[in-house]
Amino acid sequence: MNKDSIIGVIGAGAMGSGIAQVAAMAGHNVVLFDTNAAALDKAKASLTTTLNKLAEKGKIADASVVLARFQFATELQAFADCGLVIEAIIENLDIKKKVFADVEAVVSESCVLATNTSSLSVTSIAAACKKADRVIGLHFFNPAPLMALVEVIPAVQTDAALVSTCKELMAAWGKAPVITKDTPGFIVNRVARPFYGEAIRIYEEGIADIPTIDWAMTEIAGFRMGPFTLTDYIGHDVNYVVTETVFQSFFYDPRYKPSFSQKRLLEAGWLGRKTGRGFYNYAEGIAQPEPTKDTTLGNKIAERIIAMLINEAVEALHLNIASAKDLELAMTKGVNYPKGLLQWCDEWTAEKCLSILDGLYNDYHEDRYRASVLLRRMAADNKKFLS
């Protein structure tokens, strides 16, 4: 696998076509596959429009040259000469495993097979293949052409040399690759859970309303979007399912427990912006509610959520899910946090973070608020995570 390899992409949806665009713009010939011919036609039209706009803005020299690198296919046999095939389809383990087994029967012995899964076990997917050591996770973030982060996830079976090869390839594509263990949620979807979950908990307890919590996290904490605005943007059909998957995958650890408030929105079909209703009402003419701009309350909200986020990052470091550098890169490049969570902890001090968490634990006596043993050690020794 190198810069001249043909790249295959399975799935012509927004993610699949976005990954295909990234590969083509990096100079690769690309085979974009979907069983649905209409989806392929839609992807082709969208890619044509996007690349022409990029050419008009001077970001690429010639749209037609990039478009000429694409082959649109409805038969798996089109992957026969690919050096790398990336799957970007529905988050269903059984379907993914069948697809990988089918693709393996078509490609060469040296072809690398990658999954774009955001929450499923790469090891389980690899187990569907006879040559499981060629399987790896390459988790892009949506929209793939704009988001820099790619999580590189080796399965238990993955050839160790393949990890560095894929990391180098992603860097050559202009991405910011990080290496993470094959554990539920990887880095971003694991560490980010409290941003949503703790915000909803604060709302459910009546400590503050939705616009006030969003205001606290944007105006005081410096995040680009508040948690409720962001979940409405992502869609509750996506965000809630990831939360539920992570919760179940971690053997029902209360730190990742989903909320009834979000589940009810999903049941009502109020999925957020895409349906016009979620935590907020997006109907035309509806004025959004104003926050209560109480700085004391806002600081209390921000500190509680940030402390929970920091604790997740510290625990991920403690369990060797990723390096400190990759944890920081993942949260700043993957979800655009204003700063890395370990840096945030260093600025606050581990002692302050621990004090907030222990205060919550003493109030609630819930395992949800247990502090990472590494955070406790760093606080006791007055140490920082980053030099």
Task: Tell whether the model's pLDDT for residue 181 goes beyond 90.
Answer: yes
Tens-place pLDDT, residues 228-249: 999 999 999 999 999 999 999 9
Q: Is residue 61 part of a domain?
A: yes
Domain of 217 in residue numbering reads as 190-381
Return the active site residues. Answer: 118, 139, 151, 189
Q: Is residue 336 part of a domain?
A: yes
Of 121, 156, 179, which closes a domain? 179
CA distance 162 to 80: 20
Please give the mean pLDDT across all residues of the chain.
97
Instruction: Tell me what pLDDT residue 133 has.
Output: 98
CATH number, residue 293: 1.10.1040.50
Tens-place pLDDT, residues 198-208: 999 999 999 99
- Alpha carbons within 13 angstroms on the beta-carbon side of residue 215 total 16
Instruction: Tell me what pLDDT residue 354 has.
Output: 98
Q: What is the Rg, in whole angstroms, of the alpha carbon atoms belonging to the chain? A: 22
The bridge status of strand 30-33 relative to strand 149-154 is: unpaired
Pair (53, 197) in one structural domain: no
Pair (157, 226) in one structural domain: no
Q: Is residue 214 part of a domain?
A: yes
Torsion of CA 326, 116, 1, 126, to 10 degrees: 100
Mean pLDDT of 212-219: 98
Q: Is residue 165 part of a domain?
A: yes
Of 179, 208, 229, which closes a domain? 179
Pair (226, 288) in one structural domain: yes
pLDDT tier for residue 3 given thresholds of 50, 70 and 90: confident
Select from 235, 226, 305, 285 the least CA-distant residue to 265: 235
Q: Quick one: what percent of the chain has pLDDT higher than 90?
A: 97
Phi/psi at 148 (nearest 5 deg)?
A: -75, -30
Q: Are 257 and 197 in contact (CB under 8 A)?
A: yes
- Amino acid letter, 106: V
Q: What is the DSSP string of 272-314?
A: BGGGTBSSSB--TTPPPPPP---HHHHHHHHHHHHHHHHHHHH
270: its two tokens: 């109020």
Interacting residues of 54 by C-beta distance below 8 A, sequence separation 6+ = 60, 63
CA distance 152 to 157: 14
Select from 188, 143, 152 the least CA-distant residue to 170: 152
Mean pLDDT of 320-342: 97
Of 131, 149, 179, which closes a domain? 179
Instruction: Tell me what pLDDT residue 2 has.
Output: 81
pLDDT tier for residue 1 given thresholds of 50, 70 and 90: confident
Pair (148, 207) in one structural domain: no
Pair (195, 332) in one structural domain: yes
Instruction: Tell me what pLDDT residue 387 has.
Output: 78
Q: Is residue 1 part of a domain?
A: no
Write down the pTM of the prediction. Answer: 0.95
Mean pLDDT of 57-65: 95
Pair (21, 69) in one structural domain: yes
